[in-house]
Structure 1
Amino acid sequence: MRNQTVYSWGAAIVCFLVLMIVTPAIPQSQQYHDFADKREFLGIPNTLNVVSNFPFLIIGIVGLLLCYHGNYFRLSLQGEVWGWTIFFIGVAAVAFGSSYYHLKPNDARLVWDRLPMTIAFTSIMAVFIIERIDAKTGTVSILPLVVAGVISILYWRFFDDLRPYALVQFVPCIAIPVMAILMPPMYTHSTYWLWAAVIAVFYLLAKVEEAEDKVIYRWTHQIVSGHTLKHLCAAMVPVFLTIMLARRTIEPERQSLFQIWRISWMKVKESRLKVESSNCEYTAVVTLE
């Protein structure tokens, strides 16, 4: 297992280096800071983009408290406790970092917007490794993954290149749904990983809304912008994960979603065959001599 871990990290590093060599740098566009909704209420600049971060604070605090309140989430491994603790701290910190950025958008403040999100992304990836691959490997991976996320932010800030940050953001969006389908879970209610989408449906929808910030602002007759909706959609990810933690129990029979779906499909096929065979009728044919 230790050799497999070393090989996995080695392969990941090689792939990263190759990608950095064959792809061009992605600089931070300064138009990114030009958001559609610049309205000010109660003396708060860019009010809706600021206050729409409040759900992150609520769900982060709730999740953090439930991690330690009588083991409400029924976490069975110490690595899980550490991973989920870092995740909910990151989620709560998004509220402060993103609000700070939106009060006066610029590159220097954007660091504090992206840093807590990156910490949440990387810690949840480590938790998923604990649950689906190996507990020890996942626990050991928590610190390296979080550090890699922080380095991706620093690399962008000092070299004006978003490629490492983009990988940290989008690799979990692809890896977690695929692993959730193919790998057997430790707990029940694993479909919540798909509903949460740690990194796919809601967050990708949020990125679309972010890209169409001004378009959505016009469509809604200047009621709400795409970036504000991005905050609200992205906040749904930790909401779904918190619901999953509250409902799940230890899985007695570890089967991947793919195996479950395959078995269900086979049962459906068998039932259809039985129905078709039972509907067959025989009639007597009269022959003339």
Structure 2
Amino acid sequence: MRFPYRHLPVVVTALLAAAALLHGPIAQPESYHHFADQKVAFGIPHFADVISNLGFAAVAVWGWIKLAPARRHPDIQSGWAGYSLFLIGLFLTGLGSSWYHLAPDNAGLVWDRLPIAVACGGLLAGVRGDVRHEESREPAAWLALVAIVSVGWWYFTDLSGRGDLRPYLLLQGLPILLIPLWQWIYRQPASDRLAFGAALTIYVGAKFAELNDHEIAATLGVATGHTLKHLLATGAAALIVGRLANRVQAPLKACADAIPPAPPSAMNACR
């Protein structure tokens, strides 16, 4: 591997951080909490925006059931600390975002954004440890702290009348750039690059839907942009979890499919 390539992720992160500093504070739009979904169903206000969050929790539970028992598997062991943080953040996103959408305001938005930031940090730590074959526990701990600080920075600057989303937005944007870059530098399998690339592309689509909440609601009629964002982001998370689950299950399936009278050497290779 050529020397400069290893440092590209650090360079990209530094450039983005510098651009954010030069740009200056990014305030939350005053109309942020005015979502298109105003329907009440079964006594639940903003029903679609609330219920569509439960997919995050479902994917997280599915991921934990599939991956936690195999956390020592060589294909996820290095990244497990990060991936487990990703699953925890994903589960809490389902709860926190549902709570926020019942009565949208800044106080509730903290419990929406905090687990999203934690999930982003966990995914970064997991993939980094994965591709570099390095234990991801320490990076996961640091990125969890960064996630908390990024949301705290926005909330307390907003209370002072100068809200600043830059750290939070930077943490959300980094996985979109760094994960494909890491996977390219360390020559990850095409199946990994395809699955993660598709997931990140879908997530970008989810952010587009979020930014066009009312316009999509007016066009589709049956769904709003923000509800669609939740569904797309859930699908993106499911792609990532599914790919990780396939990694740890593929060798077991190969062994299960082996012909019973196979020689002992062949069976030992499956262990």
Aligned to 2:185, which of 163, 182, 186? 182
- For 2:22 and 2:71, the matched residues in 1 are separated by 47
- For 1:189 and 1:125, the matched residues in 2 are separated by 15
- For 2:110 and 2:79, the matched residues in 1 are separated by 27
TM-score, length-scaled by structure 2: 0.79
Partners of 1:217 and 1:224 within 8 A in 2:
yes
Partners of 2:82 and 2:127 within 8 A in 1:
no
Partner of 2:174: 171
Per the alignment, in what secondary structure is the counterpart of residue 147 of structure 1?
helix
Per the alignment, in what secondary structure is the counterpart of residue 205 of structure 2?
helix
Q: Which runs of 4+ in 1 moved over 6 A?
A: 7-14
Per the alignment, in what secondary structure is the counterpart of residue 185 of structure 1?
coil
| Structure 1 portions without partners, runs of 5+ | 1-6, 252-289
Per the alignment, in what secondary structure is the counterpart of residue 33 of structure 1?
coil
Cα gap change, 1:142/1:104 in structure 2, threshold over 3 Å: closer, same or farther?
A: same
- For 2:203 and 2:92, the matched residues in 1 are separated by 17
Cα gap change, 1:13/1:191 in structure 2, threshold over 3 Å: closer, same or farther?
A: closer
Per the alignment, in what secondary structure is the counterpart of residue 184 of structure 1?
coil
Give the drift of 1:132.
1.7
Cα gap change, 1:208/1:76 in structure 2, threshold over 3 Å: closer, same or farther?
A: closer
Partner of 1:103: 102
- Once the two structures are superposed, what CA deviation does each residue of 1:22-50 show, in whole Å capped at 9, x if it has no partner? 22211111211000110000110100000
Give the drift of 1:236.
1.0
- Structural mapping, 1:128-207, within 5 Å: 128-136=127-135, 138-159=136-157, 160-185=163-188, 189-197=192-200, 201-207=201-207
Partner of 1:218: 218
Amino acid in the other structure paired with 1:44: I
Partner of 1:28: 28
Partners of 1:72 and 1:246 within 8 A in 2:
no
Partner of 2:266: none
TM-score, length-scaled by structure 1: 0.75
Cα gap change, 1:11/1:187 in structure 2, threshold over 3 Å: closer, same or farther?
A: closer
Per the alignment, in what secondary structure is the counterpart of residue 224 of structure 1?
coil
| Structure 2 portions without partners, runs of 5+ | 1-6, 158-162, 251-271
- For 1:177 and 1:95, the matched residues in 2 are separated by 26
- For 1:32 and 1:80, the matched residues in 2 are separated by 35
- Once the two structures are superposed, what CA deviation does each residue of 1:193-245 show, in whole Å capped at 9, x if it has no partner? 11222xxx111111111111111111123x21010000000001221112111
% same residue: 29
- For 1:99 and 1:241, the matched residues in 2 are separated by 22
Partner of 2:253: none
Amino acid in the other structure paired with 1:49: D
Give the drift of 1:18.
3.7
Per the alignment, in what secondary structure is the counterpart of residue 30 of structure 1?
coil
Are 1:47 and 2:50 an aligned pair? no
